[in-house]
Every structure is written in structure tokens, then in C-alpha cells.
Structure 1
Amino acid sequence: MVDTVPFTDIHMDDNTIHAVEDVLRSGRYVKGPVVEQFEEAFAEKCGTAHAVGVNSGTSAILLGLRTVGVEEGDDVFVPAHTYFASVSPILSLGANPIFVDVDPETYTIDTTELADAIATSENPAAVVPVHLYGQLADMERVMELAEEHDLSVVSDSCQSHFAEQNGREAGSIADVSAFSFYPSKNMTVAGDGGMLVTNDDDIAEHARALRNHGRDDQGVHRHLGLNYRMSEMLAAVGREQLKHIEEWNEGRRRAASLYADRLDDIDAVSRPIEADENKHVYHLYVVQVPDRDGLREYLDDHDVGTGIHYPTPAHEHPAVIERCGETTKETAERITDRIVSLPMHPRISEDEIDKVCALIEGYYNA
């Protein structure tokens, strides 16, 4: 049996390294052709008309909200169980994050509670469905509610690169979608980076201006923007990674299937589910267990890496409470004490998964 099972494995091949070397030798490091090539390839694979490269997934969410017109005082609906970057752009714009609980099995936004929250909002403006852990939220229902109430939809697709729902790619089912290329994501740019995708020409033009100090093609600063640009070197990495993402996603799905088989008979473990209409790409493999902290310590003692995504519900961070006050979301708060992320990456071996699952079985049987 293997000795160590790392939580993740970030891989750069020789072609990627050579692509970065080519950029370094070119002397063109920002606002160059490589970013444009990466954008074109990403948009094509996403099934959208436009892709706009930026310096982080957080920036992509922020610019997405700005381009659809979210302003100070607007209500923006967001799940209570997500990474803080789904919420911080809303707060940064002076808008109000309206937290909605999540489905206890898919961990995505509860659309029944979302409908109720929209109905009681005084100033509803937008919805930020989060495709958490690699699985899309119920976008059919989200889009129905958005159309019914004239809301914009900015999907946080930062963990769902090329996941699918009813045959449509993540990113193509919203007014704007945001992706992250942080090193641990399904594909990376070897640093912080992000992509905003849309089918709307005006949104794309606005986003391109905002990422470059609000400047248009004539050099006139028509909007108040900042520097959210992606560098040429990062785009070179992303362009190479994009060539392998389908293969890597299938590797994650294979690993998830092995986990499901090995964990099926362990009563203490609640495995993740894949909704019937979804193709899950398992950015993370998150289970629910009793005595989560004890299990993590036991696995760590046996050289198995784990994580918690996320230890604090989004609505319970001090930065949120200070602005929004306290609220309660029962499902998000309950699962926070039970979730643990097991090792997951495209190259994880069957032997490594066997070790992880055998240790979990041994821990709970003991």
C-alpha cells in the first residue's frame, strides 16, 4: 500500500514550461496576443461568444456584477455555503448579500428558499448561483426565477470548469459567468487568474474596459475601472492547461467513482451525489461524517491530506456580520461541522484511494 496520499497534485508539463519561456523571451508580458488566444479558446470550449481574462476569479465575479448593473443598495442572492469570494464582491459594491440556504446533498443553492427570498426582497437585482465542488446549481429553476423577477444572473463557476447540465457547459447558462484558475482548481494558470464569459456583446465590451482602468479602444477612460488584467505568462499556462482539461475532468470522475464504491458500505460516511441532469467534475470530493476533526487527525497521522471547504458559513464571517447583521441558515451551519474534503486530483491512483477508504473504515469500525 502507498505511504503518503497528498490532498492534491498540481502538475506542469514541459510544453507548459516552454510556453512560459516563449513569453519571457518575447518581451511582451501584458496586453498581448497570448491572452487573446487563451480567451478565444476558452470561449469556444465554454460555448460562449466572449471570454475576458482577468487576474482572479474574484475579479471576474466583481466585474460580472458591475457589468449587469449591480449598484449600492441592491439585493444580491447568494448561497450561505460557499467560499468568501462569492460574497466579497457583493459587499465591495455596496450591495446587500441576501443569503439563501443550500441543498444538503448537492450543496448548491436551495431554489425553493431562493424563490421565497426574492418574493420578500425590496430591491432584488441579481442572483449569484455557485456551482460548488464541481457541480452546477439548478440553473433551469434559477433562470426561471430570474426571468420572472427581471434579475441578472452572475454564476460563480470558479469550481466547475466544463461541468455540464442537460448537455450545456458551465458558464453558458447565465448572463455572466466567472471562472477561477487558482492553482488548486481543475485547471490553473500557475497563479491567480480568472475568466469572465458571456454571450452579451455589451457586457463583454464593458468588462474589457473595466479590467483596464475603464479605458475603451480609443484610449478614453469611460468608466471607473482598475487594473484587473491577466498577464501573458499566466495565459500561456492556461492555454496549455485547457488542452488537457477534459482528460483531467474524466480522471476526477474516475476517482469519484472509485471513492463511491469503496465508501458505499461505511454507514458513517455520506457521499456526494451527482444530480441526474448534471455532469459533476469533482473539483473537490466532499463527504459528511461524524467526528470530522477526529477523522482528519487520524488520517493526518497516516499521511493522508484532507481539507475543510468551508469551515465557516459565508454569513457567519465577521466582515459579513459587521455589514449585514446576524442570520441563521440551518443546513449550511449543520454541514459545516460534518464536511471533510478527501484527496482528489486527476492522477490519484486506485491504491491511494484504497488506502484513504480503508483508513476511514478502520477509524469508524474502531
Structure 2
Amino acid sequence: MQVPLLDLKLQYAPLKAQLLREIEAVADSQALLLGPQTEKLEKAVADYCGAGHAIGASSGTDAQLMLLMALGIGPGDKVLTTPYTFFATASCVARLGATPVFVDIDPVTFNISVPALETTLARTPDAKGIIPVHLYGQCADMEAIVALGKKYGIPVLEDAAQALGARHPLGGAGAIGEAGWFSFYPTKNLGAFGDAGMVVCRDEKLAVKIRALRNHGMEVRYYHKWIGGNFRIDAIQSAVLNVKLPHLDTWSAGRRARADFYRTALSRHALPITLPTEVYADAGLPNHHIYNQFIVRAPKRDELRAHLTKAGIGSEIYYPLPLHMQECFAYLGYEEGEFPEAERAARESLALPIFPELTEEQQTYVVEQIAAFYR
């Protein structure tokens, strides 16, 4: 049996006719950048996550970059974040000449450790921002993180690239701190037909500046108030996302149901693997976890992955090398062993197939193959 890590064709098939109609309408209009489709999407996402403003961007990475630019993050500034995340979280900081300051993760959630963050803030009082990452679709401990941001007078900027729709008792992912961003990369719960992203924020003046920065810093055409970039979202991507957004909660519920199946089925076996923990499951939130990925900790992780591959089962390692150990960040001066939980997660974590169309038969096969490996 073949079980892919993700099969986007199954999501596309029932929406194909509607998607192609919307794409054709954009093509016929020749309004290919920003425009009414983008305005519609921005309003819908702002309403959906509970933010005051939403600004579409050319990718999740560019969304983060233009937000940091709008906040004036630059040379000499320090921004605290986790080393166990996608590269862009730290690279956007570094691209502006600022310094990523890494903080270890919580071993249960894979999100930034609040005690470690508090310790790092105490010795970095001149920090200009905190970037928690809502990794794999579950919010970080935002109540504690927001409190620390207020204590030190620095903004909390949410990397919600994997978490559109995830909920925390304080609100929707991306709309709890001062600002946040999403990625619409095709593999996300809400994926475009290519690269796209979005910034959300509460402050109107910040939103105005971000809108200008995504278009070379122009408010009035050919009059440049700031030095910006070309971060515009394509109208076709906006049209695709407008079709898909109404289905997002259903898709996320489908992922959560498949996570429940894994949890029940895998628990029947005496396996040495550690299953993901839903820290907000009892908070009465419909989207307490949206499972952009289903991550287990597995002894002999690489051998297990090879076994699953041989059995026709897709898997992935997010992320095999923490950022503080990446060659390009050697100049920061970190050494192996400084962030033990991030390093342990990189050695042990494995993503199993999870998507709304995954069948019970396929999941049963995955569980059987994992059990067979550890016999």
C-alpha cells in the first residue's frame, strides 16, 4: 500500500471546477496583482483570525520580512526566537542586519520554552522583539509570552505560518500579539497554487506602512515614503485562497480526527514513541490544534523512517538540524549542546502522513508498520 505524506490532488478534485472558474475570471480581468480578490481575502482572513488588519504578501517569508521592516528592525537589534523552526523565522531577522537570539524549546509542545525565554530576556533587556512560533499548528504559551513582552516593553510577533485557524484561550493564532504572519505555501492547511502569505496586525498605522512597503514604499504612486520591496500577492493566489478559506475549519477538523485515530491506534501497542500533546484540548476551543503536521518522537528515528519508506509510507523530518547549528549562523557563536531540547527534537522527531482525505485503512497500515518496526 502507498501512503503519501500529503496528497493535494484529493483536496483539489472536488474544488476543481470552482477554482478554474475563479482563475479564469482573474485571467479575463487582467487584474493580476492585488485588486478585488486580494481585498476580499484580506478582509476574510482578518475576520477569521480576529485581527484588525490583514495585508497579503508574496510569501510567508516576505510577510515576515516586511513586518520587521515596518517595525524598523535593523542592525544592532536583537530578536528572540526559537532555533527549532523553519529557516525563515531567523533568516528574516538576519537579512535586516539584526541578530537572532535563540531560546530553547519546551520538550512537550516543541514551542518556545517560557522559562528559557524569561531567562534570556533577563540578560537581553535591549531586545527589540520576541518571535514565538506556533509550530505544527498548536499555539505557543501566549499568555505567558505576552506578559513577558509587556514586562520588557517589546512587541510579540507571532510566526503563525503553520497555524492559520489555530486557537488559544486569548484568541486566534497571529492575532494575539502585536502582529503575526501566515504562509499559504501549498502544503499548509490553507494552501495557494504557489507562494503567498499574509501579515495581520492590530495597529492601523502599522498596517498602512506595511501596505506601502509591499509596493516599494509607495502610498501615492511613484512617491516613495519608505524603502520597501516587491512583496505583492498575485490576484490568482488570492482567488484560489478565497475559494478554499470557507473549507478550512472542516479540513482542520479532518486532520484532528486523523490525529485522534493515530493516538488511539498507536496507544494500543507498547511502543516507545511519544505522541503529540494537545495542551489546549480542555479549553473548549474548536481548533485547539490544527495539525499542520503530526509529529512523533521516535527512538531509532532514521531507521524507522527507512522502514516506512520501504513500506511505501511517506514521512518527513521537521527539522533535522537546529538553526543555531546551521553553517550560515556560525557567526552567532553558538555551540552544539547550548539548546539541548531543540537538538533532541531534531534527532527524534518524525512527521507521519496527515491530511483530511487520509483513509482509516491507510492509517491502520501506518500504525501496523510502526508496530512491526519496534517488535
TM range (shorter): over 0.9
Paired position in structure 1 for 2:332: 324
1:285 counterpart = 2:294: yes
Provide the C-alpha distance between the structure 2 equivalents of 1:167 and 1:117, rounded to a whole number of angstroms.
24
Q: Deviations over 1:87-113 (max 9, x none)?
A: 110001111111000011100000101
1:257 Cα deviation (Å)? Answer: 0.3
Identity %: 35
1:235 counterpart = 2:238: yes
Which letter maps to 1:308?
Answer: I
Paired position in structure 2 for 1:168: 171
Which letter maps to 1:63?
Answer: M
Paired position in structure 1 for 2:2: 4
Contact conserved, 1:61 with 1:154, CA < 8 A, in 2?
A: no
Alignment equivalent of 1:360, drawn from 336, 349, 370: 370
Using the size of structure 2 for normalisation, the TM-score is: 0.94
Paired position in structure 2 for 1:83: 86
Which letter maps to 1:47?
Answer: G
Which deviates more from structure 2 when the two are superposed, residues 239-248 or residues 263-272? 263-272
Provide the C-alpha distance between the structure 1 equivalents of 2:178 and 2:7, rounded to a whole number of angstroms.
33
Paired position in structure 1 for 2:317: 308
Contact conserved, 2:143 with 2:170, CA < 8 A, in 1?
A: no
Using the size of structure 1 for normalisation, the TM-score is: 0.97
1:326 Cα deviation (Å)? Answer: 2.1
Secondary structure of 2:218's counterpart equals: coil
Gaps of 5+ in 1: none
Secondary structure of 2:151's counterpart equals: helix
Alignment equivalent of 1:53, drawn from 52, 56, 59: 56
Which deviates more from structure 2 when the two are superposed, residues 153-162 or residues 10-19? 10-19
Alignment equivalent of 1:342, drawn from 341, 344, 352: 352
Secondary structure of 2:156's counterpart equals: strand
Q: Deviations over 1:54-110 (max 9, x none)?
A: 001011111222222322111100012111011110001111111000011100000
Contact conserved, 1:313 with 1:333, CA < 8 A, in 2?
A: yes
Equivalent runs, 1:218-233 vs 2, <5 Å: 219-233=222-236
Secondary structure of 2:128's counterpart equals: strand
Secondary structure of 1:124's counterpart equals: coil
Secondary structure of 1:63's counterpart equals: helix
| Aligned residues between the structures | 362
Secondary structure of 1:143's counterpart equals: helix
Paired position in structure 1 for 2:279: 275
Which letter maps to 1:251?
Answer: G
Which letter maps to 2:333?
Answer: G
Provide the C-alpha distance between the structure 2 equivalents of 1:51 and 1:96, rounded to a whole number of angstroms.
27
Contact conserved, 1:186 with 1:249, CA < 8 A, in 2?
A: yes
Paired position in structure 2 for 1:152: 155
Which deviates more from structure 2 when the two are superposed, residues 13-22 or residues 208-217? 13-22
Contact conserved, 1:29 with 1:231, CA < 8 A, in 2?
A: yes
Contact conserved, 1:68 with 1:152, CA < 8 A, in 2?
A: no
Which letter maps to 2:334?
Answer: E
Q: Deviations over 1:243-281 (max 9, x none)?
A: 110100000000000010011133311000011347010
Gaps of 5+ in 2: none
Provide the C-alpha distance between the structure 1 equivalents of 2:211 and 2:178, rounded to a whole number of angstroms.
16
Which letter maps to 1:65?
Answer: L
1:133 Cα deviation (Å)? Answer: 0.3
Which letter maps to 1:180?
Answer: S
Alignment equivalent of 2:212, drawn from 203, 209, 213: 209
Provide the C-alpha distance between the structure 1 equivalents of 2:196 and 2:209, rounded to a whole number of angstroms.
19
1:167 Cα deviation (Å)? Answer: 6.0
Which letter maps to 2:20?
Answer: I
1:218 Cα deviation (Å)? Answer: 5.3
What do you get for the CA RMSD once the two structures are aligned? 1.2
Paired position in structure 2 for 1:72: 75
Secondary structure of 1:197's counterpart equals: strand
Distance 1:110 1:167, change over 3 A: closer
Contact conserved, 2:134 with 2:159, CA < 8 A, in 1?
A: yes
1:26 Cα deviation (Å)? Answer: 1.2
Which deviates more from structure 2 when the two are superposed, residues 332-341 or residues 6-15? 6-15
Which letter maps to 1:302?
Answer: A
